[in-house]
Structure 1
Amino acid sequence: MKLLAEIAEEDIGYEMPQTENNYRVRKASRAIVVNALKQIALLYVSKQNYHKLPGGGIERGESIADALSREIMEEVGVEIKVNGEVGLIIEYRDRFELLQISYCFFASMERTKEGPSFTEEEQQDGFELKWVELEEAIELVRDDVPTNYVGRFIQKRDYAFLRAFQERK
């Protein structure tokens, strides 16, 4: 999978740390899910004022593909067919001593199930599922003003994924 970007604190407006970090690694899979109307699934995190692509952490013993299917089912409520790779982004979240590796794919919606089943934390953060045109998704993510540290990383990451997907067409 092609490495699209490495994002560090200085890339989101924070000063470069003065010390070495011992990062723990978190791997995640994400997707640009396209429906029959050529709209993509986007999650709005109202409490922190940003949009994000659906997806999440890969659990121990779980494959990237299995994690992707599970996360999309939980956050979008649909089964998907993976059609290709968008790319890979590495984030250095110094504040949490976390190195996050995100694998992003593009997929088509195969079958709707019960709709999203957000976790309690996602509900508290005000998660809302939206279906929007690709250009609108890019504008929404680009123009967001996240109110927290994690949101700033997510904005930069998901904007890069959306732009890479747009450029491949």
Structure 2
Amino acid sequence: MELLAEIKEPDLILAEVREYREAARAVLFDERGLIPLLYVSKYRFHKLPGGGIEPGENRVEALIREAREEVGSAVEITGELGKVVEYRAADFQQTSYCFTGKILSKGTPDFTEREIAHGFQLVWMSLEEAIATVNQDKALNREGWFIRQRDLVFLTACKNGKDKRQGC
């Protein structure tokens, strides 16, 4: 998958990676062309659905599970946008793989206790609205800063037609 960006804090001096995480994320379209975002009200930022790849899962399996949990939806993965590598600390690296897809059915999210505590809310908007919303976010924590940078790369890649098959 094509590398779209590397994100690190200014002046961060990288060390040997001691902790590595892989995650799958998606820009998913419903029948009206709207996409789901998760609003993290406790820290005031929005994020694309997705999350960590668990042992024994591949990227697509992880994304299908995450979409079911966070969006309450069955999805069909239709293409790839690319990956973003984040260096959140001198020795921590996360690689997020982003896909495009279609919402096949809508249900109710099944948020974890942590997600509930962070005030997760599911919101639907157009791709253009999502870009503007994420761009205006002023996250109250460091994680939100990274998520904003990462998800803007993915949303912009979709807008710029990175994945022609989906029509983003």
TM-score tier by shorter-chain length is over 0.9
Deviation at 1:106, TM superposition (A): 0.6
Deviation at 1:123, TM superposition (A): 0.4
Match of 1:75 among 48, 58, 70: 70
- What is the SS of the residue equivalent to 1:161? helix
CA deviation profile, 1:95-149 (whole Å, cap 9, x unmatched): 6x32101000010011224x10000000010000001011100000001000101
**Amino acid in the other structure paired with 1:158:** D
Aligned to 2:5: 5
Match of 1:20 among 6, 15, 21: 15
- What is the SS of the residue equivalent to 2:55? coil
Q: Verify the 8 A CA contact 1:86 1:161 in the aligned structure 2.
A: yes
Match of 1:107 among 101, 111, 126: 101
Query: CA RMSD for the aligned pairs?
Result: 1.2
Q: Verify the 8 A CA contact 2:82 2:97 in the aligned structure 1.
A: yes
Aligned to 2:25: 30
Aligned to 2:152: 159
CA distance in 1, matches of 2:18, 2:158: 29
Identity %: 45
Deviation at 1:2, TM superposition (A): 1.1
Aligned to 1:144: 137
CA distance in 1, matches of 2:49, 2:18: 24
Match of 1:49 among 5, 25, 44: 44
Q: Verify the 8 A CA contact 1:29 1:102 in the aligned structure 2.
A: yes
CA distance in 2, matches of 1:112, 1:34: 11
CA distance in 1, matches of 2:134, 2:20: 25
Deviation at 1:20, TM superposition (A): 2.2
CA distance in 2, matches of 1:107, 1:58: 18
Deviation at 1:22, TM superposition (A): 3.1
Deviation at 1:9, TM superposition (A): 1.1
Q: Which runs of 5+ in 2 are unaligned?
A: 162-167
Deviation at 1:21, TM superposition (A): 3.9
Q: Verify the 8 A CA contact 1:43 1:54 in the aligned structure 2.
A: yes
**Is structure 2 residue 79 aligned with structure 1 residue 84?**
yes
Q: Verify the 8 A CA contact 1:50 1:146 in the aligned structure 2.
A: yes
Q: TM-score, normalised by structure 1?
A: 0.92
- What is the SS of the residue equivalent to 1:117? coil
**Amino acid in the other structure paired with 1:124:** A
Structure 1: which 4+ aligned runs deviate by more than 6 Å? Answer: none
- What is the SS of the residue equivalent to 1:110? strand
CA distance in 2, matches of 1:68, 1:30: 6
